[in-house]
Amino acid sequence: MSPTWNTIKSVLERREQQTLSSRAESSAAGIRRRSEDQLDRDYRLAFAVDVDRILHSLAYTRYIDKTQVFYLIENDHITHRVLHVQLVSKVARTIGRALGLNEDLIEAIALGHDIGHAPFGHEGETYLSKLCEQAGIGPFLHNVQSVHFLESVERKGRGCNLCLQTLDGILCHDGEIHTTSLKADRKKNFQTFEEEIAAKRRDPSLQLTPMTMEGCVVRFADTISYIGRDIEDAIRLGLVRREDLPAQSTTVLGDTNGKIVYSLVTDVVTQSMDKDHVAFSEAVSAALRALKRFNYEHIYMNQRIKSASNRIESLFALLFERYHGDLEADNRSSVIFTHFLKDMSPDYLERHTPPEVVRDFISGMTDNYFLRQCPPDMQPVLDVAGT
């Protein structure tokens, strides 16, 4: 006789109990906002379900044409958002496996952490945030938007009903913040989760701490995954030279993405093994801080990749105003109705103001879809060589 779903689930749960560290989050601890009858007859463990739901979301599909750092460049080897989240997942699972943590939870957090990014990366986030504040709906924050999309926009407004632990890791990922050590804040529930979202909206600089070790690992893996990769992309585009990298960093971490990732992952594993926190050593943390400062000054703020910024900002304003006007005028022929609000659940429509609907529509766009909505004579061009 073939094993039943509950037999398979029992085997998987028992395997977790035997192999996971006491610091890991067990799948049995997964908490959802709503109970689902079909999950009571599903052999998949809770966080594995979350992974599947994120992978099959429409927002995940759109990762493939979302900017990581460099946009408007015809180069097939430049990192896009989809590759970044896959790298974060791989790096985080490597660390998690060494520490005996729950790899399903790690994968769910990693794959979902950037769902809320606007087109054109952090630059687009800045422009959209300015428009949102002008419209009176508060700043746009991609980590908050990632949670919002997965909870309230996906599945035509019904949401994915993910576990609290997954959503919390996504909210708290903040890979741009430099952290030497991070200890999980385990005393959270959906009420405190909502309070943290509200506090983050009031103060975007507020630093949040994940409720699980798995969330802490993804936070570290986010930085590990982009820091060296961005350098390789910048070298490929002729923006920096390898010999320009700070000696303080290369002496400790190496001067290629492979060496940097290996050094950082090894250090995290070494410093976090059998500990109740995730950490870098002081020497590696200092080297990483110097490298992040180099990237910021020589790559992210490099004027050669900023020549189209004013045009892109004006296009964000143009589209925001257009779609808001279409909603106010009930212009049913507008793409915000035909592409975004078609078949949207009544609950979504009741709970969101027109500016919030516009925010959700624009933030979910890929770069190319965004540009296709703009007048041809306003299309931006960036003068950076692609090979």
**Which pLDDT belongs to residue 307?**
87
pLDDT band at 207 (very low <50, low <70, confident <90, very high): very high
Alpha-carbon distance values, 126 to 282, 300, 361 (Å): 32, 13, 16
Residues 6+ apart with CB under 8 A from 162: 32, 50, 53, 54, 108, 112, 150, 151
Q: Which residue has the tokens 């109970």?
A: 35
Q: Which residue is associated with the tokens 């900023």?
A: 306
Q: What is the pLDDT of residue 224?
A: 97
| Position 263, amino acid | S
Q: How many CA atoms lie within 13 A of 378 on its CB side?
A: 17
Q: Cβ distance 51 to 111 under 8 Å?
A: yes
Read off the pLDDT of each residue in 140-163 and give the average, rounded to a whole number: 97
Contact indicator for 71, 120 with CB cutoff of 8 Å = yes
> Tell me, what amino acid is at 147?
V
**Average pLDDT over the chain, rounded to whole?**
94
pLDDT tens string 80-116: 999 999 999 999 999 999 999 999 999 999 999 999 9
Whether 308 shows a pLDDT value over 70: the answer reads yes
Q: Could you tell me the sign of the dihedral formed by the alpha carbons of 55, 78, 174, 278, in that order? A: positive
pLDDT, position 387: 44
pTM score, whole prediction: 0.95
What would the pLDDT profile of 241-253 be if each residue is shown by its tens digit? 999 999 999 999 9
Among candidates 139, 174, 135, 149, which has minimal Cα distance to 324? 135
